[in-house]
Structure 1
Amino acid sequence: MVEGVEQVLPPNFCVTLVRGAGPDEVIGILGGADPVPIVSAQTALLAEDAVRERVDEHGVPHPSDLMYVVATRLGGWTMVIEPNGYLCTDRDVVRALSAAGELVSFYYNENTTPSFTWAAGGRELVRFNPGYPDELYGAEPGRLDGLLTELGFTFGGYGDDPGDDPGDDPDDDDFDADFQERTFALMERMTGVRWDAEHLHAATFRCAGVGGPGSRVAAEPWYAEVREALEAYVADPGDWTGEDFEGWGRRGVTDRRVRALGSAGPAVYDEDRAMAMAIAFAPAELIGRIFMWAWERPFRAAGLVDEPWFGRVRDLVHRGEPVPAQDVQVVEQALDPYLATTVFLPFRQDRAHRANIARGLVVQWDSVNPAADLCWQFARTGAADGRPMPQLFADLWRDFPELRDVVIPPPQPPPRERDAVRRKREARERDAERWRLEDLRNTWGGRIPADPRLLEPDVQSATLGLVPHDRDLIDRIAEAGPRTQRAMAAWAARYCCTRSGMIAEDWVEAGVTALERGAPPPPWFTDFDAAFARWRDVPVESITHRLSVSFGDHAPPPIDPAVFALQAVVMARDDDPLIAAMATVRDAMHLGDPAATSAAFRAAFDLP
C-alpha cells in the first residue's frame, strides 16, 4: 500500500508510471526539453506557476500554454506527476509513452471523473473509472478483473436500485470512498515497485514545462526563460515569485534562513527580533525543548500537568504522533474552565471557540520545519495562555538562557535575479500599482487627492466619510492652513451640538466656547469618556467599552446624536488640525442634511 502520499500530492493530480523510457526521455516525448532537477516532490510540485506564464522583453505577460510535469526514476520505471494536469490521459500520449514498454496511470480531479489507464506496446489495454469500475474499456478490458476483485474494488454500482435506468449515473451510496487507496495499491501490484511519502520527499525530480507530443514549444526562444524561472525557484523556493505574503521584504529581511520561520514568524520578529533570530539559527535539540515548553504552558497554567491523562498526551505530541480523538475530547473538557477566564471578548462565552483553541494544541498540523512549527506553537499557546506575548518571551529568555548563546551568522546575500524573473516581478509590480491607483480612485470618488497628507492612514480614516457628500470640500479643507482648520473644527463642533440639542446644556456650551477661544478644555471635555460620563451623570471609572460584531446585511445600530456631538467637541482638539477639521465636519454631515450642511460650512468660510 502507498502510504502518506495524500500529504505530498496536490488535491488534483495525474500520477503515471512508465516502463521503457527514463525521466528525460519521457519529458522529451511530452514535448519538453532540458528539465531542471528539484529535490522533493513537495518542492517540485509547487514550481508549477513558474511555467504557466512568461513575460516578453517589453514587459507584457502572456500565458505560456505549457503543462507542467515532474519525473523521477522509481525502480525500473519512471514516475510522472502532473499537478492539476491530465496530459497522460490523452490517448495519443498514452500510445507514445507506452510504445517502448508499458504505462500505468491514475488521474484524479475533484470536479471531474477519475480515470485509470493501462497500456503496453502502444496499445491501451484497460481504461476505467476506479470509483465505479463496472464498465471497463480497452483492447483487453477483462485482464484486470481478478486483481480488481482481490483489491476490493466495488462492483455493481449501476442499476442496483429498483427504478434505476441503465443510463443513470451511479448512486451515491454505491460510490467507493476508498478508491484512491485501492488504485494506488493496484499500481503497486502491477508495476512491482513500492513508493510512499518518504520516497517522494527524498527523490530528485526532473521538472519541465511541456507542450504535448509533437509540440515545438521547446524550440521557442522564450522556452529558455521558462526554464530560467524554474531555476530561480530552485535557488529560492520560498521567495522566487516576489509575492512575499508574509511581509518579510517590508521588514527588510532577505536572509532565507530567517524567512524560513514561515507565516507565523513575522509576528515573533515584530514582538522580539532577537528571539526570532535566535530561533532561526538555534540547534534542533533546543528548538524541540522550547516547543514542548511552549506547548505545556497553558496546561501548566490550568493546573493540568499532574492529571493522569496528561503524560500520555504529552508523549504523543512530543513524538509527533496523532492524539486519539477521545484524548482530544478530554483536553477540550479539561481546559474549558481555564479558557473561559482567559479567552478575550467577544468569544468569552463561546464554548465552541474555546474547544477549537484547546483542539489546536493537540491536533497535528502540516509541518513546515521545526523553527516555523515553533513560531506557530507560540501563536497557539498565546491564544490559550491568557497572558500577553511579551510575557511569553520574557519567560522564555529566563528559562532558556542558552538562547543568548546562539550564534547569528552574517545574512546570506540574496540570489541573483535572472532576467526572466525580473520581468515577471516588474510586470507584477506594474499590475499592483495599477490596481492600487484604481482602488484609490474608487475610494476617493474618482479623484485621488494631490495632497499626500490625505493618504496617510489616520487622516484618511477621518476623511473618507466626507467623500459621498462633498468630494471637493475635502480638497478645500486640506488647502486651508492649520489655524483655519482649527476654526473649521470648532464651527463643526458647535454645529453638531446645536443640531443634537446638546448646546442647551451649560456644560456643553462651556466646552464649545473654550474650543472657539482656543482655551484649555473644561475637565469634562478632556476626553470622550469624561464627556460621556458627564452626559450620563456617572463616574468615569464606571464606563466600559463593548465590541459587537454583526454579519450579513444588518444595518448598524443608530448612534445617538448626542454621541456625535460629544465626539465632535473632543475630536476638534486632535493634535493634527487637519484630522480635527475632517473628523468634525464628517460628524456634522451625519447630523443634518449633507447638502445643507456643506452649503452652510462653505458659506461660513467663504469656500468656492
Structure 2
Amino acid sequence: MVTVLFDEPRVFLSYGSASLMCGDDLDDVDLDAPWADESNGLCGAGVPGYLQFQVGTHTGWVPFRLELHDAEPVLDPAWEEVVEVSFTALSEEASLTGLMGDRHEFTVPRGDYRVRYCVRGFEEADEVEGTPDSYLLQFWPGAPAPGRIVKQTGERAAYWHRARRTLTEPEQQENEQAAVDELEQRARERWGGRVPSERLRRTLEFGVGLYLEVLSRLDMDLEFALADADDRTHRQVAAWAAVQCLEEAGLIGLPQLAPAVAALRRGDPAPPPFDDSGHCWSVLRQAQPPRTSRPSPPDGDYEQSPQDWAITTLFHSAEEDSLVAAMEVVVCLAFVHGRDGYHQAYAALRTQFPQLR
C-alpha cells in the first residue's frame, strides 16, 4: 500500500538546498548538523525530525513527491541517484521547504521510518534549459539504522558524497590548494589583467548563482568604481537602482510593495519580509502584474522578464555585504532595461552618483 503525502510539481528553492521538518524548534537548525553522520552527501539525517537535501537546481522550481509505504518499496531503476537514511517523525505536522522558499505542509504518522531519497536529472541540472531534475521521498516503517548510498551514477553526486565525509589531512591540503587554484583561475577569467581590490576579489568567494560576475562583462569600469566606494554609497546605489527597476517594470505602484518602496526611496535596504526571496516571489505571483520581455544584455541572445528581475532587487538590496548588494542590484538594472536600454540606465546611474564615473 502507498499513500501520497505530498506531490507538487513546483517547489521553489535556492542554493541547491531543501529541507523537511517534522517537530518543534527546528527552524534554526545549523545547516551543517544534518550531515554529521557522513553516510552520504545527498540527504542529511543527523538531526531528529529533520532532513536536509542536496538538490541539483541552484535556484528555481523543481518537482517533489513524498510517499508513505507500509513496507520497503521496490527500487525503480529510472532513478539515477538513491540514498537511504533513518528518520523519526516527532509530530504529525510536517513541512517541506526550499531554502528561502515557500513552506509546503503535509501530515505523517509519528514513528520511526526508513527514508529513500531518489533523484533524477541531478547531473544535468543548471546546465540545460529549464529544470530537468526531479525528486522522490519514500517512507516506510523501520528501526533506526545507518544511512547508505544505494545507487550512484553521476560525478556530481559522487562529489557531494566525497565532500560530506571527514577528509584525511593530505586530502584536506589537496582540497585547499585546489580551491586556491580555482579562485586564481576565476580571477583571470573575470578581470583579465586588471588587479581588483581585496574587497572586490573577495566577491569570488560568494559562489556561483549570484550575478556578481555578470557585471564584469557588462561594465567592468563600473564594477571597479563600486568596489572603491564606501558602504553608504553602496546602499544608496542599491536603493536607487532598485527603485528604477521597479518603475521600469511597472511594479512601483503595487500596494503590497509600499513598505519596501518607502525604505528604498530613503536610501535604505528593503526591510523584512522583503529581504526574503520566497516572500518577494509570492508577492509577484499573487499580484499578477502585466508581464513583458526584453532581449537580455549585452547581446540579446535570449529574452528575459523585467518583472522577474525587478522583484529580485528587493532581497538583493538587503544583502549583508553592501558591495554585493550594490553589484547585484546594478546587474538587475541592466536586465530590467534590456540590451537596448542598459547603457542609458548605467549612464543615469553615473549621473546620479558622480563618484562612479
TM-score, L = length of structure 1: 0.30
Which structure exhibits the higher relative contact order, with contacts defined as CA atoms closer than 8 Å and separated by 6 or more residues? Answer: 2
Relative to its length, the structure with more strand (as a share) is: 2
Which of the pair has more CA radius of gyration?
1
